[in-house]
């Protein structure tokens, strides 16, 4: 349907037509191609062109903002930081992911709207903080409560000879003989994989799991009170029982032992 065009929207030829007295009715007719045409005494003057169909896509492209790779990387690292709940030494991971997230946030702010990814940076900072403080808090709590009441924590450092000689070391060890103690370590793999009732507990995983031969002061013979025994495990194990100083040669598949944890129970 034709619509009468306002005078302001006439083509540039229309004033000349008015001056010559030839101006007639002027109508606008949008055609099928999106072009608006004005009809003037049988001639068609193009006075406006509609926006192309892809204008919205063009505007969308112009409003596109590049996502910060640093923000996405920090979020992934923050998720990986959950391993700190299993190993406190890996607290460096949430520390790094938190620092990366902070750097990403600053990068996004300084980009003047050209970069996006702030939600990822915020999430990475929150997850990193949760893993760092939650993980370390869990390990502190576990350390504070892992020793049963009435037992004394025993470390392998206490079992090492004194650099000044063996007399002081012997006195310390003799004082522990017959005392209830708690100790942690790694199982030395033997021939059995299950229902193990007696085994060597080593100071560190390197000595027990990679073919090493731990020195005699870095191993304790564990004799469980449970006749069913336990299965071999490659993780850190916790035991409590009565500490004994072996005053007679005791030999097993791993060699001599100086120290024994008798009537031991797994924590």
Same-domain status, 208 and 237: yes
pLDDT digits 0-9 by tens, 132-162:
999 999 999 999 999 999 999 999 988 887 7
Q: Is residue 73 part of a domain?
A: yes
Number of domains in the chain: 3
pTM of the model: 0.63
d(CA 142, CA 139): 5
At residue 171, what are phi and psi to the nearest 5 degrees?
-65, -40
Asked which of 145, 176, 206 is the last residue of a domain, the reply is: 145
Same-domain status, 122 and 164: no
Same-domain status, 123 and 95: yes
d(CA 72, CA 77): 9
Same-domain status, 212 and 167: yes
Same-domain status, 170 and 260: yes
Q: Is residue 58 part of a domain?
A: no
Same-domain status, 74 and 177: no
pLDDT digits 0-9 by tens, 216-238:
888 899 999 988 889 888 888 99
Helix then strand count (H, E) for the chain reads 7, 14
d(CA 18, CA 73): 69
Domain around 21: 3-49
Same-domain status, 220 and 259: yes
Q: Report the range of poorest mean pLDDT among 21-30, 172-181, 211-220.
A: 21-30
Kindly tell me if the per-residue pLDDT of 103 is higher than 60: yes
């Amino acid at each position: 349907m034709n619509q009468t065009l306002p005078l302001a929207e006439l083509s540039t030829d229309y004033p000349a037509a008015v001056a010559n007295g030839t101006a007639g009715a002027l109508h606008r007719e949008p055609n099928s191609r999106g072009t608006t045409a004005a009809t003037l005494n049988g001639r068609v003057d193009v006075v406006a062109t509609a926006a192309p169909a892809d204008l919205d896509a063009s505007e969308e492209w112009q409003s596109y903002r590049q996502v910060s790779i640093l923000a996405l990387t920090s979020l992934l690292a923050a998720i990986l930081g959950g391993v700190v709940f299993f190993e406190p030494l890996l607290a460096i991971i949430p520390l790094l992911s938190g620092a990366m997230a902070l750097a990403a946030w600053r990068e996004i702010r300084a980009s003047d709207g050209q970069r996006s990814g702030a939600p990822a940076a915020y999430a990475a900072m929150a997850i990193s903080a949760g893993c760092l403080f939650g993980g370390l808090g869990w390990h502190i709590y576990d350390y504070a409560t892992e020793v049963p009441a009435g037992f004394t924590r025993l470390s392998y450092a206490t079992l090492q000879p004194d650099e000044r000689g063996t007399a002081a070391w012997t006195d310390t060890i003799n004082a522990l003989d017959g005392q209830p103690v708690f100790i942690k370590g790694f199982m030395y793999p033997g021939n059995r994989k299950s229902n193990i009732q007696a085994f060597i507990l080593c100071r560190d995983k390197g000595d027990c799991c990679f073919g090493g031969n731990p020195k005699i002061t870095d191993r304790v013979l564990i004799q469980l009170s449970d006749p069913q025994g336990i299965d071999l495990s490659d993780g850190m194990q916790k035991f409590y029982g009565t500490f004994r100083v072996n005053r007679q040669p005791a030999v097993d598949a791993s060699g001599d032992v100086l120290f024994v944890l008798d009537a031991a129970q797994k924590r």
